[in-house]
Amino acid sequence: MNAKQLAGLARMQRPRLRVPFVTGYADAAGLSSDELEPGMALIAKPFKVGKLPRRIRALIGD
């Protein structure tokens, strides 16, 4: 099971669950921002230190 599949199962239990995916291998993991459901976000590494909290705040604030 990959992270996207696990998130899908978790959201079956908690449909409003917000899920950030943080990876340096988005292509290899089969993740793309276009394919993610609402409430999910892709944060690709490397990123600047301040970017992670901003992206998580934006995801939670949706």
Nearest Cα to 40, choosing from 50, 52, 32?
A: 32
Whole-number pLDDT of residue 17: 94
**Domain residue ranges in the chain:** 3-61
Separation of CA 12 from chain center:
16
The pTM is what? 0.71
pLDDT digit string (tens) for the chain, length 62 residues: 888 889 999 999 999 999 998 888 756 556 666 678 889 888 888 888 888 899 899 988 85
Whole-number pLDDT of residue 28: 54
Whole-number pLDDT of residue 15: 94
Whole-number pLDDT of residue 21: 87
